[in-house]
């Protein structure tokens, strides 16, 4: 698994990196990769978005926050520095080809990472990762030829007031939190990213272990049209 | 050749057509993305199973679709 920490990026800049790796992965020219980044303040819309889920557009305009319409699943969300973004570019062609299973895996690995950080996170009945009834992580993914892109965002030290100005994920009246709010202190982002990366690698191996055992590493390099 | 919606998940999630990359009478190459479908949290591009002319598109953007329902026909 290749790891690529892009640091602080604009959304489009990171998207370009994702798309480049996605196409190379499909062509068999790259290994699986986990992109880690933080975004400059941006509101992103998934495919199932209505602009009516932005409750206070002026709030974002006054702060020069970009609006980006994306090809990921899900609805509207907000990104800003201090939030960890995980964008896995992984090939599931020869693994368990199941969209829900993959999203379950993403939520599990985020929940496990947060637990390591001392945040009692869990998966709820609704999508995402939750802490005491408040949402802390947001999923929205895409697939091309069973290679994944887009991913999950996790609130760590970031400003969460902006979530009051949208219906996060299109859901009304949900409360949002961050690791900083839960723990009452800022976390070291380098340490946080390392924990997410290590947990992702470990959980990916375990969750997709049976398929790896059956097909082996060779299958991940199959070139497909 | 008929293109039908493959199974994307054992959960039988609701699937909606969100974007046709090609239209009727367009020519498409095998493996090119023909249509994007979306579940609650995921988009999924479905490639053309063969090259040729798109004879008929059976579903519109915004329509729901079930596994194995026909999406398009390619000559």
Closest by alpha carbon to A36, among A75, A71, A1? A1
d(CA A178, CA A60): 20
Q: Does any CB of chain A come closer than 8 Å to the CB of residue B40?
A: yes
Q: Do B41 and A71 touch (CB under 8 A)?
A: no
- Is the pLDDT at A110 greater than 70, yes or no? yes
Choose, out of B43, B44, B46, B51, the residue to mutate when testing the contact with A (most A CBs < 10 Å). Answer: B43
Q: Do A224 and B31 touch (CB under 8 A)?
A: yes
What pLDDT score does A213 carry?
43
Choose, out of A26, A143, A151, A223, the residue to mutate when testing the contact with B (most B CBs < 10 Å). Answer: A143
Could you tell me if B60 and B46 are in contact, meaning their C-beta atoms sit under 8 angstroms apart?
Answer: no
What pLDDT score does A175 carry?
95
Q: pLDDT-derived band of residue A221, with 50, 70 and 90 as boundaries?
A: very low
Q: pLDDT-derived band of residue A169, with 50, 70 and 90 as boundaries?
A: confident
What pLDDT score does A211 carry?
52
Mean pLDDT over A73-100 rounds to 95
Residue A102: its chain B contacts at CB < 8 A?
Answer: 42
Q: pLDDT-derived band of residue A217, with 50, 70 and 90 as boundaries?
A: very low
Minimum-distance CB partner of A145 among B16, B30, B47 = B47
Q: How far apart are the first and last CA of chain B?
A: 6
Number of H helices, E strands in chain B: 0, 8
Mean pLDDT over B37-42 rounds to 93
Q: H-helix or E-strand containing A74? A: none
Residue B40: its chain A contacts at CB < 8 A?
Answer: 48, 73-74, 127
DSSP 8-state class, residue A202 = H
Q: Does any CB of chain B come closer than 8 Å to the CB of residue A223?
A: no
Residue B11: its chain A contacts at CB < 8 A?
Answer: 98, 100
Catalytic residue IDs of A: 169
For chain B, what percent of residues have pLDDT higher than 90? Answer: 91
- Is the pLDDT at A220 greater than 50, yes or no? no
What pLDDT score does A222 carry?
42
- Is the pLDDT at A96 greater than 90, yes or no? yes
- Is the pLDDT at A224 greater than 50, yes or no? no
Residue spans of beta strands (DSSP E) within chain B: 2-4, 15-20, 27-28, 33-38, 42-47, 52-57, 64-65, 70-74
Distance from CA of A119 to the nearest CA of B (A): 24
d(CA A5, CA A8): 9
Handedness of CA A125, A128, A129, A134 (dihedral sign): negative
Mean pLDDT over A150-173 rounds to 93
């Amino acid at each position: 698994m290749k790891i690529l920490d892009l640091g602080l990026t604009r959304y489009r800049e990171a998207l370009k990196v994702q798309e480049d790796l996605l196409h190379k992965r499909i062509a068999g020219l790259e290994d699986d990769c986990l992109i880690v980044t933080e975004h400059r303040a941006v509101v992103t819309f998934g495919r199932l978005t209505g602009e009516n889920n932005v409750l206070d557009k002026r709030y974002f305009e006054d702060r020069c926050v970009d609006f980006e319409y994306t090809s990921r699943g899900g609805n509207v969300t907000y990104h800003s520095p201090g939030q960890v973004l995980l964008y896995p570019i992984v090939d599931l062609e020869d693994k368990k080809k199941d969209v829900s299973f993959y999203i379950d895996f993403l939520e599990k690995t985020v929940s496990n990472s947060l637990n390591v950080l001392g945040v009692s996170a869990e998966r709820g009945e609704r999508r995402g990762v939750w802490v005491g009834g408040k949402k802390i992580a947001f999923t929205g993914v895409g697939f091309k030829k069973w290679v994944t892109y887009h991913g999950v965002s996790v609130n760590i030290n970031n400003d969460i007031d902006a979530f009051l100005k949208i219906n996060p994920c299109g859901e009304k009246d949900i409360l949002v939190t961050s690791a900083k709010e839960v723990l009452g202190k800022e976390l070291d982002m380098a340490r946080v990213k390392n924990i997410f990366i290590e947990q992702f690698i470990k959980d990916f191996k375990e969750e997709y272990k049976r398929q790896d055992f059956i097909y082996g590493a060779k299958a991940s390099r199959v070139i497909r049209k | 050749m008929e293109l039908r919606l493959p199974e994307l998940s054992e959960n039988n999630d609701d699937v909606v057509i969100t974007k046709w990359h090609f239209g009727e009478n367009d020519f498409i190459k095998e493996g090119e993305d023909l249509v994007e479908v979306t579940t609650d949290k995921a988009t999924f591009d479905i490639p053309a199973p063969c090259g040729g002319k798109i004879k008929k598109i059976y579903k519109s953007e915004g329509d729901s679709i079930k596994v194995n329902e026909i999406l398009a026909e390619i000559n």
